[in-house]
Every structure is written in structure tokens, then in C-alpha cells.
Structure 1
């Protein structure tokens, strides 16, 4: 593992990005590009080594390849999601489309297909970090982007400042993307939100995702809530229209 700081440090602490890939060329070139943008990078060449480091000393975000020795990216994500909501971007190949859908269903925040432009990757990283800051009420978020006050809808409690979600008083661990989608639904119970509206709530303007991405996040949200309440049904599907949140 290498922990590399940017050439010059900004006034505030730089964000830390973990890169997990068995391709040394990708690790080197992406790390250099991120350093030039003011990030600190930590690089790992396999999932098994990365897992312990990501749990013991979490970065702000991880970029992970899917195909790796010892422990692949999907196995790494599965282990991470047992205890961590760390934002994760997957790197995939064109022939790994089923893995993309599975990764999103397992809790990845985004994916980028290889070959990719470094500019696109950096834009996606910045977008997720902005969403993370918004959800957690970080000081660097501008005043007009401050997260909403705590939401209470029946058995649901959401506190953006603490990135905390409770259902019937029991905690439910959500990723940043899942939190923002649920917040958009719960803010107006009974109102149907189209997939495009949920994309707008969860992603910035410079990130484009398809319907399958939102559907995968919704499925994972339901699965997480049903792990604490098998009868959870507050997120309703309106076929052909979108999703809504029910207070009942």
C-alpha cells in the first residue's frame, strides 16, 4: 500500500481516495491524476489487502476494480457493506454488465466502464464527495446546500447531520446515494417521484445514470429495511411512473 499526498496541501485537509486494482498502470496514472487535483491517494493491488485497510483506516471514497486476485471487487464490497457505508465507485469492463448491476444492488454508489477518461472519473469522485458532504452536513458545504432538518415519517427517522436512519428505533445503515434517494421520497409522502427526479436528487448534473441504477438502489433500500422489519412496505412502486413513500 502507498499513501501519497498531493504536491501542495490546501488549507483544509485533502480528501483521501483509495484505489484498488491489480493493474499497476491504472494505479499509477489515476493516482497521479488525483494528486494533481489535490487528493491524497492510497493504492492496493488486491481486495484482501484493501479490505483490512479500508475498515481500519477508512478513506473518504474507494475506487475498486471488479476483477482482482485473492478477493474480487464484488466480494470486497460485500464485506465492506456488512459494517461500512464508505462510498464506492466500481471500475468495470464492457463485458461485465451483469457485474455492474450486481454491484449496484450490493450497494456501490456508481460505476465507470473501462476504458475511461481520468476527467470523467475525477468528476464522478467529486460528485459523490459533494453528496457525502451534503448528507453529513460538512462545514465545506455552502449555506444554500445545507441538508434539510431531521425527517420523521411514522416509524422512520432521518437525521442528515449525523447520516443516521432509524426504523422503529432500530438503526439502518445506508450509503450516501441510498440516503439521498430515501430522503427525496420521504420528504413528500404519497407523491410519486419518477426515476429522473430521484436521479436528480441523488446525483449531480455532471453524472448520468440509467433507470437500472435507481431500481437497484431501491431494491437494496427495501432489503435493508426488511432486515429490521420483515413487513416493511413504505417504499411503493408505481409501475410506469416511479416510486413513492407511504406514511402508513
Structure 2
């Protein structure tokens, strides 16, 4: 049986409103999370299984999906894989298991963050807000100042990064990145030659202090390198500085 709770449309009409899909077979927990999100002017929907979550996401087009790893039937990893075929929503994975393998597996299928049960709904909402804030600020700024000339794309050899359009081209062909992947690439490319630590990258991307596993950056960097055809051993674009972090090269 479907278990869905719709947030008040009137509250979500706020200019700062976002859409959130909460997916957990522990329905009371999911409804608590949804209620906290609704208080923050989100429009929130609850789904209690993976099949329902995918169907709802296609119609609801959420900005963020809070996704339990241990769903019955289609688990959170498979839901995330399928979401990534049609949605660029942020995905926060919920897990009752604190094993690192769960975190890494979740991120390799496109999750942007994770939080371990039990957790504070207030903390979860705060992390979601920080996650959403930066892309929305960029969009708002562009809309508020249409007369401002767009910045030229950043060039690194055959790699072109258009920050205003949030578009990446490699050898003139488009490269599809998740929001987090693009934000990390933007942070590095905006400071070429400068080493940024994992924490610095996370705080730039999240637009605030980071509390959690800093090595989440490594997974996203790995995704970026694969999509850019960048060899970590002989990098053209992103160089690892051992014990410190990453820096953007000049391209070849």
C-alpha cells in the first residue's frame, strides 16, 4: 500500500521552497522527517518502497531525495541508480550501518551525502539546506542581474567549463555531471594551481562547515576523473597532492 504525505502547497509557494522526497519503510520516521522539511517551506512527499519512490520521483521532480539504504525489495542503491538515469536531484542516503563500504557504495551510484541512523531531523534538514543553497544562489543571482555579462568559460586544454551555464565540454562534446561533481570541478577550476584540502572542497560545495567523512570527496573526484578520461597516475586536469588534497592542472 502506498504511504504518501503531501506538504501544503500554500507553504511551498514560498520563493525559497523546494521539493523533497523522503523514502523509508519506517513510515513514522519518514513522516517525522517530512514534517521537519515542511516547517522549512519544503513540499515533502513520503514513499515507503523503492518502486513507489521511482514512480513518484518521475512525476514530482524533487530537488532532494532522502533515501533509506535498507529498503525491502528494490534497495536504496538500486533506487539511486535508477534515479540517476532521469534526475539530478541531490540524494542523501540514510543507513543504519556505519560500515564504510555502505557509504562508498551509496556514493558510487550517485548519492551526494549520507547520514547514519539514529540522526537528528534538524541536522538532516540543515545539511539539506546547505546542500541546496549554493546552486540556487547562482540561479537567483543570474536572474536578478540579467544585464551582467556572463563570465567566459574556463579553459584547461581541451576541457571547457562554463560556470554560468553549468556546462562542461571535453573536445567540444558535453560531459554530464551531477550537481556535486560540477560544484567540485568549479571550485578547483576557479583556483588553478592551488591545492584545496578535502574539507575546503566540501565547505565550498556545501557553503558552510562540514561535519562528516571528508573522504567522500575522493569518491566524487573518482567519478570526475572517469567522466573526463583523466588518469590519476598521469593527470591532465585534477592532480592529487598526497596528504593534502587536490588541485586543478593546466590541461594538455
Question: Is TM > 0.5 for Structure 1 vs Structure 2?
Answer: yes
CA distance, structure 1, for counterparts of residue 71 and residue 164 of structure 2: 36
CA distance, structure 2, for counterparts of residue 127 and residue 120 of structure 1: 11
Aligned to 2:196, the other structure's residue is in SS state coil
- Note if 1:209 corresponds to 2:212: yes
Aligned to 1:161, the other structure's residue is in SS state coil
Superimposed CA distance per residue, residues 164-222 of structure 1 (whole angstroms, 9 cap, x where no aligned partner): 22211222222222111111111233322222321222123243233311111111111
TM-score by length of 1: 0.85
Pairing of 1:214-229 with structure 2 (within 5 A): 214-226=217-229
CA distance, structure 2, for counterparts of residue 59 and residue 165 of structure 1: 23
CA distance, structure 2, for counterparts of residue 61 and residue 223 of structure 1: 25
In the other structure, the counterpart of 2:36 is 33
**RMSD in angstroms over aligned alpha carbons?**
2.7
- Note if 1:117 corresponds to 2:158: no
In the other structure, the counterpart of 1:138 is 140
- Note if 1:77 corresponds to 2:77: no
Work out whether residues 64 and 90 of structure 1, in 8 Å CA contact, stay in contact via their aligned partners in 2: yes
Aligned to 2:140, the other structure's residue is in SS state coil
Runs of 5+ consecutive residues of structure 1 not aligned to the other structure = none
Aligned length: 241
Aligned to 1:211, the other structure's residue is in SS state coil
Pairing of 1:84-163 with structure 2 (within 5 A): 84-135=87-138, 137-138=139-140, 149=151, 150-163=153-166
Structure 1 outlier segments of 4+, above 4 Å: 139-143
Tell me the CA shift for residue 104 of structure 1: 1.9
CA distance, structure 1, for counterparts of residue 140 and residue 248 of structure 2: 27
Work out whether residues 199 and 210 of structure 2, in 8 Å CA contact, stay in contact via their aligned partners in 1: no
Work out whether residues 6 and 39 of structure 1, in 8 Å CA contact, stay in contact via their aligned partners in 2: no
Tell me the CA shift for residue 107 of structure 1: 2.1
CA distance, structure 1, for counterparts of residue 14 and residue 105 of structure 2: 39
TM-score by length of 2: 0.84
Work out whether residues 61 and 87 of structure 2, in 8 Å CA contact, stay in contact via their aligned partners in 1: no
Runs of 5+ consecutive residues of structure 2 not aligned to the other structure = none
Q: 1:63 to 1:123 in 2, by over 3 A?
A: same
Superimposed CA distance per residue, residues 78-114 of structure 1 (whole angstroms, 9 cap, x where no aligned partner): 1222343221111111444311122123321111111
Work out whether residues 105 and 219 of structure 1, in 8 Å CA contact, stay in contact via their aligned partners in 2: no
- Note if 1:3 corresponds to 2:1: no
